[in-house]
Amino acid sequence: MQDFQQYIGGAFEDGCASFDSLDPATGKSWARMPAASAQDVNRAVRAAEDAFYGSEWASMTASLRGKLLLRLADLVAENAPRLAELETRDTGKIIRETSAQIAYVAEYYRYYAGLADKIEGAHLPIDKPDMEVWLRREPIGVVAAVVPWNSQLFLSAVKIGPALAAGCTVVLKASEEGPAPMLEFARIFDQAGFPAGVLNVITGGPEAGAALTAHEKVAHVAFTGGPETARHIVRNSAENLASTSLELGGKSPFIVFEDADIESAVNAQVSGIFAATGQSCVAGSRLVVANSIKDQFLARLKEKAEAVVIGAPDDMATEVGPLCTKAQRDHALALIEASQAAGARLVTGGKALDREGFYFPPTILDCSDAPDASCLSQEFFGPVLSVVSFDSEEEALRIANDTKFGLASGVFTQSLTRAHRMIRGIRAGIVWVNTYRAVSPIAPFGGHGLSGHGREGGLQAALDYTKVKAVWLRTSDDPIPDPFVMR
């Protein structure tokens, strides 16, 4: 058993309580994690507040903040193998994915390091004589960042990076389902030389989350997770009137037209739904395919799905590992059973594997004759693809938008004009054309509807961690006239 500590005010400490973390590959405990109490949360927020108003961080130049972020980026890159190992062990994400993703996470910190001294105000051409008016962008304050277990180093980087670039301080709550890599990240952050309290890392269950998001000193809540938890957070934020950015789930359409490059689209679909064992908010979980190529496409997709290598997450040959929790596996089984009862046809997969751990195979459900099947509307967060077909572009667009979510989408076609029509018509925050799951620190990431609001990544994310102050300067040396003297 390994022991991990939380990070508050620049110090590592045990929580008031602890809990065991399970290895999804075996279903057995492997580490003890600190469970933050409401008192721990309060101390973490107070430490962040002290750092925010403290002379060292508050008076630090934006350029120096950028240099510290650049140092952090270098340390993340240097420690990527250790971080990848811990994320794989604690969440079941395969090592080939965690290794590549964490190496790229460093680029997010580098991007925001460079952006730190590019956050500018503005001069206003005011309509009053003898007045100079300008706008200052100032950090919003203490940020509560709440991240899930999946892709947590990436999902924390798109919050911590812009928040610190803007001059904010952060209390990050890691998910109780696999928090080891974030607690290890705190050790790396500590080496970068930031003032104490600029970042605080805790973990724990709903009590810790509620205490953090409702805390009176929190100015902004940045959350990634499910819609139901987001509703609680929005209600909690009413206590402190904090602003929120919510990056939630999805039921993303993957649209393939008859003129698409079939092999390229199949490969992208396999990656879009089976990579990360389907545990991705942008998973292309609804295949919307032209009727004229449906049989050909499904045959090739089935062949690829059944050839996927399922194995231990720490094996570089593994392509699909276990789900993170038993609850996810049970949820997938229940949804598949309900969808079959509604008329969906099982193409492949659909049954839990008879082996130790929370393994579940790549699964395809043909719902062309089951438009009301629950698998078309509910998020699995697992390697399960639901298939529907269409005959016209208008029908494809209607099916794509027939969801309460609006995070991501994919369009595969060789027609430039059709691609532009689909880009305009799809109601989603991201549209990938002839590709899928591409990300960059330069591009914003986020959705609409039940997929949340706000954006992460890009310049706008940094601006969202600022508030605007209007400054009025009277330039006349003449005394201000008495307003009550008649003239």
Instruction: State the number of CA atoms in the 13 A half-sphere of 52 facing the CB.
Output: 25
Positive/negative CA dihedral, 264, 266, 268, 271: negative
Backbone angles phi, psi at 314, to 5 degrees: -90, 10
Catalytic residue among 168, 281, 367, 375: 281
Q: Find, among 1, 454, 6, the residue nearest to 208 by Cα.
A: 6
Positive/negative CA dihedral, 428, 434, 437, 441: negative
Residues 187-206 as b or e (16 or more Cβ within 10 Å = b): bebbebebbbbbbbbbbbee
d(CA 411, CA 400): 10
Angle among Cα 157, 461, 142 to the nearest 5 degrees reads 70
Q: Which two tokens stand for residue 310?
A: 């399922």
Q: Is the distance from CB of 383 to CB of 363 less than 8 angstroms?
A: yes
247 has catalytic annotation: yes
Quote the distance between the C-alpha of residue 130 and its chain's center: 48
Instruction: State the number of CA atoms in the 13 A half-sphere of 317 facing the CB.
Output: 4
| Strands of 153-196, DSSP E | 169-174
Catalytic residue among 247, 319, 379, 456: 247
Helices and strands of the chain, counted as H and E runs: 15, 21
Look up residue 473 and give its DSSP letter: E
Q: How many CB atoms lie within 10 A of CB 486?
A: 4
Q: Which two tokens stand for residue 455?
A: 């954006």
281 has catalytic annotation: yes
Active-site positions read 247, 281
